Amino acid sequence: MGSYPVPQIKGWLDAVAVLGHLVKDREALGHNRRVAQLCVRIGRQLAMTTNELRVLSRAGLLHDIGKVAIPDQILDKNSALDAAEWTLMRSHPEIGLSLLGQSRSPREMLAVLYHHERLDGSGYPYGLAADSIPIEARIVAAADTYDALTSDRPYRKACTPLEARKVLLEEAGRGLDPKVVSAMFAALETPTVTRSPERALRNFLLA
C-alpha cells in the first residue's frame, strides 16, 4: 500500500478512487465492499433511514482507508505483531480521519475513527465505552469482525460462518453491541434482493 502522507481527499468519489488506486490487495478491497454491504443490511434490520444507510455504506467502505499508510510488511505479516508494529497499526483510524478531511458527514467520520472502540472501553484509539461509541461505529465494528473472521488472513485461515457467529456471541456485550450482533444475525439469515449488491452499494455511494 502507499506511504503516508497521501494527498487530501476532497469528496466521496475522490475517496473511492484513492482507495482503489492505493489498496493493491484485491482481498482488502473485497473486504471493504463486503463490510459496507453488511453494514447496510444490519442498518435495515435496525429500521434505519435511507440517509443513515448511506452513512453506513460509506463508512463501511472507507473504514480502513488509514491502512494505506501502514507498511506492507506489517499488514502482510504472518506472525504476531510486536509492540511497535501494534502501535503503528492502531494509528490507522486517526490516519483515516486525517486523510478524509472535514468535507463529509460527521457521522461518517466518527464511524471511520471509532470502529475499533469496544463496549467495555478496551478498544482504540480513545478507549470509548458503551453508548459513547456512535451507533455507526458499532455497526462497522460488528460487520468488520464477522468478515475478518470468515476471510483468510496471512496469519490464519478463515473461520466457518458458524465459528464466526460463536465468536461474535462471546463478544456481544463485551466488545460488540449485542443489539447490533443480533441484527447482523437476522440480516445474515434474510435472503438478499436479486439485484447486484455491488450495484446497490454504488447507488448509496453516489447518491
Ranges of each domain in the chain: 12-206
Contact 93, 124 (CB under 8 A): yes
What is the pLDDT at residue 82? 92
Contact 13, 62 (CB under 8 A): no
**Most confident by average pLDDT, 10-24, 60-74, 164-178:** 164-178
Mean pLDDT of 35-57: 94
Mean pLDDT of 63-89: 88
Active-site annotation holder among 10, 24, 67, 77: 67
Measured over the CA atoms of residue 46, residue 33, residue 104 and residue 95, the dihedral's sign is positive
Q: How many CA atoms lie within 13 A of 58 on its CB side?
A: 28
Q: Is 67 a catalytic residue?
A: yes
Angle between helices 135-149 and 106-114 (to 10 degrees): 40
What is the pLDDT at residue 78? 84
pTM for the complete prediction? 0.82
Q: Which CATH number applies to 12-206: 3.20.20.70, 3.10.180.10, 3.30.365.10, 1.10.3210.10?
A: 1.10.3210.10
Q: Per-residue pLDDT tens for 125-181?
A: 999 999 999 999 999 999 999 999 998 876 778 899 999 999 999 999 999 999 999
Q: Per-residue pLDDT tens for 96-113?
A: 888 777 656 678 888 899
